[in-house]
Amino acid sequence: MPLELSEPLRAALFDLDGTLLDTAPDMAAALNALRIEQHEQPIEFARIRLQVSNGAAAVVRVGFPGADAARAEQLRLRFLDIYARQLADQTRLFRGFDEVLGTLEAHGIPWGVVTNKPAYLTEPLLAALNLSARAACVVSGDTLAERKPHPAPLRLAAERIGIPAEQCLYLGDALRDVQAAIAARMLPLGARFGYLDAAEEPERWPVAGWIDRPAELLPWLGLRLHS
């Protein structure tokens, strides 16, 4: 069952890929650039998009399903090299999120990012989109030894913003996001606009609620869009 919180929510924390940012266009472009480099034809965006939240290894498996472990690792490293050079070419906040962040900021509600993406990609990406100074905290995939679904990164984020975990919501688009939020005693919300794969049966995830567009998270904090 979803975790029920008895205290009012005072902060919002977000996954990055597929939740706060639509990073799939740049990651798909990097994968197809790698395929062309390896003398393969590009593959369709829709196939790549579903795996973006699962990280570079999963994206590379879509592009090179027959690669053995050693070659897959070589391809992953090359993919990351290509991707790092075009982090923010097409990546943007999901539509409506800029207004949501502005509303949170106008009401003094801190927001932050907790992602499994490594810092060397996370930090320049947020900087390129002018989000670094706006975020109250950023916890990357290599900030700690543990990564989601372990709750430690979420607990660290709550500590950094100075708000009890029980008074934070966490929005993500993967089961590990939900599991981490519950373990950290945060309110787990699911981003239905993200990179959900029907094969993972998201309807069975123990979320407190589903968000179809970013503005729908504001009522959980007692807010409406700031005008």
User: Which residue out of 15, 22, 173, 177 is catalytically annotated?
Assistant: 15
Determine the residue type at 71: R
φ and ψ of 22, to 5 deg: -90, 85
CA–CA gap between residue 180 and residue 204 (Å, rounded): 16
15 is catalytic: yes
In the beta sheet, which residues pair with residue 93? 21
Strands 92-93 and 168-172: unpaired
Whether 26 and 88 have beta carbons less than 8 Å apart is answered as yes
Query: Would you call 23 exposed, middle or buried from its count of C-beta atoms within 10 A (0-12, 13-18, 19+)?
Result: buried
Contacts (Cβ under 8 Å, ≥6 apart) of 56 = 76, 79, 80, 83
**Quick check: helix, strand or coil at residue 92?**
strand
Count CA atoms within 13 Å of residue 44 on its CB side: 3
Active site residue ranges: 15
